[in-house]
Structure 1
Amino acid sequence: MSEHLLLAPLLESFFRRRLTKQRNATPATLASYRDALRMLILFAAARLRKKPAALALDDLDRNLVLAFLDELEEKRNNSVATRNARLAAIRSFFHHVAAADPASFGIAQRVLTIPIKRAHIEVTHHLTGPEVDAIIASPDQTTPRGRRDRTFLLFLARTGARVSEAIGVNANDLQLERGRSQVLLHGKGRRDRVVPIPQDLVRSLTALLSDRGLSHHQPEPIFVGAHNERLTRFGATHIVRRAASHALSTRPSLGDKPISPHIFRHSLAMKLLRSGVDLLTIQTWLGHAQVATTHRYAAADVEMMRRGLEKAGVSTDRGARFRPTDAVLQLLASI
């Protein structure tokens, strides 16, 4: 086997030199790319009946990569977004191959022609104000776990933080002085941002820090699990779903919505949008890299109005003529 077709040296230089030293990739990016390439190598080894260490670069040709992507969707039931994320990692590796080993340029070029798959963008789900309040109020405040849960839910709802940002907050990221309370969130791609904290969250955080014996200047996690380790993503999701389950008795509509920590982020964005906050401010608040990501909230608001018009018996076809019936006037008056 010729030296330039060996896979192992290219994989090693991709992670050690390109991602770590040249691009200073975050641990999350390294983990994501590692998992994608590990899955590809295991798939190739099983398909070609070779040991992973015996694979050569030309084994990872365009047809094999396409078969791998198909398996992600068809057998592993991955979403189009997950499929595209795996492909992004593979493409990044083959960009490195093309630059590091010109003799393998043809192999890399054929893989790089695989396009990103278009995905259907669904209407963004969010919670109403009463639904958010019901979930936040459901934990038992007489127990330490209940007080932690309520504070965590309140933190998600008031800051719009991603779950990774919320569980990553330390006590020294907080500034709880009256009048300028804020928290430093460590976002994706090392993009940090400062978000204001309302007084109800200030009181809850202060009580939680007191319960745990922490000061505002300690680099210790705020939200911890049963063994005082930093709360995990799985634990955060469990807290949210448990609280939503308890709130079902007062808000049955919660049973129709996909409940996860991220739904609080969408809910805050919709609340800000309906309060007259512009999309650029919402983009900055939520830490979106592009304003196009924030536009989906405006689209969701338009979609809700369309559904309301349909319930009122008005056609929303582009060719239909709009006639403001009494039902429509009542609907618009209630918004």
Structure 2
Amino acid sequence: MKNIASWDDALLDFKNYMRLERSMSDNSIEAYLRDVERFRQFLALDNKKTEPLAIQANDIRNFLIYIAELGMSATSQARMLSGLKAFFKFMMYEHQLSIDPTQNIQGPQIGKKLPEVLEVHEVEQILAAIDVSKPEGIRNRAMLETLYSSGLRVSELIDLRISNLFFDIGFIKVIGKNNKERFVPIGEEAIKHIGLYMKHVRANWDIQKGSEDVVFVNRRGSQLTRVMVFAIIKDLTLKAGITKSVSPHTFRHSFATHLLEGGADLRAIQEMLGHESIITTQIYTHLDVEYLKQVIKEFHPRS
């Protein structure tokens, strides 16, 4: 047995153990390593320099709270915990870890209410239920593409400004909670449908004073309300035959979950959502905008 001080060494040994001693498939090995790497990223985001042998149960619990807050499904949470349990069991056996920090950690409770998350095909079903032969349908398609493409809150969607659309570089500027600004990548599908709406619908409506710079307006030319967006999504969900309770926030949770489960970096998702850490209440490290664009392009289902 040997003591391993660094994550890189521990992960390399864990990989070799799974391949040589357990004869696991490449896909399974990559999945386990990805789960542990997510946890390692979380520790870095929380400014913790904790090495593998110093991990405590609270570190694991805080990580599970974090991924639940992002909207990760109970099944995925349980799978990720399973990966961590396998890693620390290996550390107990191979590297003289005295206490397994995952030993008394339970997966998400079955009765606990978790945020609804749409499957990718369910998002497609809702989008397909929109009647784009009508002006409102063209607008609604643009709205939902934007929600899902950029993970916006409903308040951020209805407050989105034309002057904050930077389609030439693939970004929009969003005014979030407490008037904090952030730049978020926006996908090509959303850009396309916003363009169609602006050209063929909004340009033909009489825009009311005060709404001249608002992207999404109603037929009377006034800014949409939160209630109207909720009603539109509820109606489309019924038409699509989906029985889940779906709201604008469901699209935000789905955005985060699909990126996370697709392999995107935790820091990038945190940055795009405009979240404050639920553990430290500090804004996470700012990332280069080109990196955020690359995350969307590589991991978002509709890119």
Pair 1:266 & 2:253 matched = yes
Indicate whether 1:238 and 2:231 are aligned. Answer: yes
Report whether the alignment pairs 1:167 with 2:158. yes
Structure 2 residue identity aligned to 1:194: F
Q: Does 1:287 align with 2:280?
A: no
Instruction: Pick 1 or 2: higher relative contact order, CA cutoff 8 A, min separation 6.
Output: 2
Alpha-carbon contact 2:174-2:184 (below 8 Å) kept: yes
Q: Shift of the alpha carbon at 1:121?
A: 6.3
- Please list the CA deviations of residues 297-323 of structure 1 after superposition, one character each: whole Å capped at 9, or x if unmatched: xxxxxxxxxxxxxxxxxxxxxxxxxxx
**C-alpha distance in structure 1 between counterparts of 2:146 and 2:264, whole Å:** 20
1:197 aligns with 2:175: no
Q: CA deviation at 1:265?
A: 0.4
Secondary structure, aligned partner of 2:133? coil
State the 1:278 CA deviation.
2.4
* Aligned positions of 1:146-165 closer than 5 A: 146-165=137-156
Structure 2 unmatched runs, 5+: 1-110, 205-210, 282-303
User: What is the SS of the residue equivalent to 1:284?
Assistant: helix
- Give the distance between the partners of 2:280 and 2:153, measured in 1 at CA: 14
Give the Cα separation in 1 of the matches to 2:280 and 2:127. 27
Which SS does the other structure have where 1:289 is aligned?
coil
Displacement, 1:226? 2.8
Please, which of 95, 107, 126 is the counterpart of residue 135 of structure 1?
Answer: 126
| Displacement after TM superposition at 1:219 (Å) | 5.3
C-alpha contact 2:116 2:246 (8 A) present in aligned 1: no
Distance of 2:279 and 2:198 partners within structure 1: 37
More helix by share: 1
Post-superposition offset of 1:293: 10
In structure 1, how many angstroms separate the alpha carbons of the residues matched to 2:122 and 2:197? 24
Tell me, in whole angstroms, the C-alpha distance in 1 between the residues paired with 2:257 and 2:150. 13
State the alpha-carbon separation in 2 of the partners of residues 263 and 201 from structure 1.
Answer: 17
Which of 220, 227, 251 aligns to 2:213? It is 220
3-state SS of the aligned residue for 1:124?
Answer: coil
CA RMSD of aligned residues (A): 2.2
Distance 1:186 1:223 in 2: 15
Name the SS for the 2:250 alignment partner: helix
Letter of the 1:270 partner, please give it: T
Across the two proteins, how many residue pairs are aligned to each other? 164
Give per-residue Cα distances to partners, 1:106-134, cap 9 Å, x unaligned. Answer: xxxxxxxxxxxxxx963222000000111
| Rounded Cα–Cα distance in structure 1 between residues aligned with 2:188 and 2:280 | 29
Aligned to 1:300: none
User: 2: CA distance between counterparts of 1:293 and 1:268?
Assistant: 23
Q: Is the 8 A contact 1:172 1:219 kept in 2?
A: no
Secondary structure at the aligned position of 1:184 is classed as strand
Q: Deviations over 1:221-246 (max 9, x none)?
A: 11112311100000010111111111
Aligned counterparts of 1:154 and 1:238: Cα–Cα separation in 2: 16
Q: Measured at CA, do residues 261 and 282 of structure 1 come closer, stay the same or move farther in structure 2, by a change above 3 Å?
A: same
TM-score, normalised relative to structure 2: 0.51
The aligned amino acid for 1:174 is L
Per-residue displacement from partner, 1:171-226 (whole Å, max 9, x unpaired)? 1110112xx21111100011111111111111111111112229xxx951111123
Residues 225 and 235 in structure 1, CA contact (< 8 A), matched pair in contact too = no
Is contact 2:151–2:255 with CA below 8 Å preserved after alignment?
yes
Partner of 2:196: 207
Cα displacement string for residues 47-98 of structure 1 (whole angstroms, at most 9, x for unaligned residues): xxxxxxxxxxxxxxxxxxxxxxxxxxxxxxxxxxxxxxxxxxxxxxxxxxxx
Task: Quote the Cα distance in structure 1 between the aligned partners of 2:186 and 2:134.
Answer: 24
Moved over 4 A (4+): 291-294
Question: Secondary structure of 1:213's partner?
Answer: helix
Provide the rounded CA distance (Å) in 2 between the counterparts of 1:155 and 1:137: 15
8 Å contact 2:156–2:175 — kept in the other structure? yes
TM-aligned CA deviation for residue 274 of structure 1: 0.8
Separation in 2 of the partners of 1:148 and 1:293?
39
1: CA distance, partners of 2:158 / 2:133: 23
Structure label with greater radius of gyration? 1
For residues 272 and 292 of structure 1, do their structure 2 counterparts lie closer, same or farther at Cα, with a shift above 3 Å needed? farther
Percent identity over the alignment?
33
Deviations 1:125-181 (A, max 9, x none): 20000001111121111110110111111111111000000000011110112xx21
Task: Tell me the distance in 2 between the aligned counterparts of 1:291 and 1:137.
Answer: 36
CA gap of 1:231–1:123, structure 2 versus 1, over 3 A, is same
Cα displacement (A) at 1:259? 1.1
